[in-house]
Amino acid sequence: MSRFNKLFHQLKTQNQGAFVPFVTLCDPNLERSFEIICTLVENGADALELGLPFSDPLLDGPVIQAANNRALTAGYSTEASFQLLAQIRSKYPEIPMSLLLCANLVYAQTIDGFYQRCANVGIDAVLIADLPLLACEEFMPFAKKHGIQQVFICPPNADQETIQRVAQSSQGYTYLVSRAGITSAENQQASTNLTHLVTSLKSHNAPPILQGFGIAQPQQIKEALAMGVDGAISGSAIVKIIEQYLDDPTTCLIALAKFVKIMKKATAL
């Protein structure tokens, strides 16, 4: 059983949803990034979604764009990120970890080489933000070869055909986007069609559903779980804390610990 499958099974028996934080690797540098990720895990994160620094990120709003720029400006990119991933896996052998990235970073390693590296450092799942379902056949055989679960996004405007294909193709979990647009903790405009999407995804036996985009408050997690999703992903709200305390690492970790504890508490069903 994969780490993600094991996690969702365990949370179900405990009547809990999953809280999954997102951060960009090596932001603001490798050493502090490791401390930040350790703080997230030790204060209640059920799994990790991690981004590779990239100069042209898709879907990401200004907060996460800035995180990418900080990591790249400090001289960190894919190589350092894989070193950091290995370090995280060594300390936390059981926590599920997924990568969120753009296809160009996969091609840069060769598709086979990328998934091999993911397997080598203990990555469980990969979500390629700009990989449409119509093009997934180029990647899926290599993900399967190296035991990596390929995750797909269900957009808020998905039609029935798209919902079915996402449900049948996604592995590990299904990423349900809350609304159209880019990531942002400030944009709280929610889609009115999410209940329909959740119901439809489940009718097609989709993997557990994690809702992302704009998740910044405990109440949003409660509402998402009440709608039937299995957990929530929060990125911009966390990265904003990192940005706020760039010059005060100690206070940054304290603030992150408090935020994660509050958000995880909201996952009780």
CA distance linking residue 199 with residue 54, whole number of Å? 34
Between CA 10 and CA 15, with CA 13 as vertex, the angle to 5 degrees is 110
User: Alpha-carbon torsion 180, 184, 186, 190, what sign?
Assistant: positive
The runs of H, that is alpha helices, within 14-145 are 30-42, 62-73, 78-91, 103-107, 111-121, 140-145
DSSP letter for each residue of 88-122: HHHH-SSS-EEEEE-HHHHHTT-HHHHHHHHHHHT
Q: What is the distance between the alpha carbons of residues 114 and 108, in angstroms, rounded to a whole number?
A: 8
Q: How many residues does the chain have?
A: 269
Active site residue 56: no
Q: Which of 27, 46, 49, 243 is catalytic?
A: 49
Question: Does residue 60 carry a catalytic annotation?
Answer: yes
Catalytic residue among 46, 60, 124, 230: 60
Q: Which residues are catalytic?
A: 49, 60
